[in-house]
Amino acid sequence: MTNERFDQILTARLIKIKNILGTKAGEYSSADDRLHNFKVAARISGKTPIQALDGMLLKHEVCYRDLVSGKKPTKEYIDEKIGDFINYLILAEALLIENIEGQSNDIAIHP
């Protein structure tokens, strides 16, 4: 792969990440907390927010593993599944940083 083609793929991915995490923010967060759904899922499941996200991330990891198992996916399918996996890792990073910065009480809260 040429450097130019790789840069095209990288630029397209970065734009998609920004668009998807920006667009999905309205669907999956509250007005003041981008990580809202993981915190609610944590309360419901009796886990921490990062553990709740980890459970959801597992689905995306399975899709990734399916991609590398020898299937012949379409470019659109690759785009969607790789994007989902990357986005969840970014959300995991945000939860982990929020926790170490002391902005979140990352303990299990039973419903």
Model pLDDT for residues 59-108, shown as the tens digit of each residue: 999 999 999 998 789 999 999 999 999 999 999 999 999 999 986 555 44
Partnered with residue 33 across adjacent β-strands are 30
Whether the pLDDT of residue 110 is over 60: the answer is no
First-to-last C-alpha distance (Å) of the chain: 51
Q: pLDDT band for 28, please (50, 70, 90 cuts).
A: low
108 within domain boundaries: no
Look at residue 105 in the predicted model and tell me its pLDDT.
Answer: 52
Q: pLDDT band for 23, please (50, 70, 90 cuts).
A: confident
Closest of 39, 68, 65, 71 to residue 52, by C-alpha: 39
CA distance 65 to 59: 10
77 within domain boundaries: yes
Maximum Cα–Cα distance across the chain? 53
29 within domain boundaries: yes
- Domain count of the fold of the chain: 1
- Determine the 3-state secondary structure of 33 from DSSP: strand
Q: Are 73 and 67 in contact (CB under 8 A)?
A: yes
Whether the pLDDT of residue 4 is over 50: the answer is yes
Q: Which domain holds residue 83?
A: 3-100
Average pLDDT value over all residues in the chain: 88
111 within domain boundaries: no
Structure pTM? 0.83
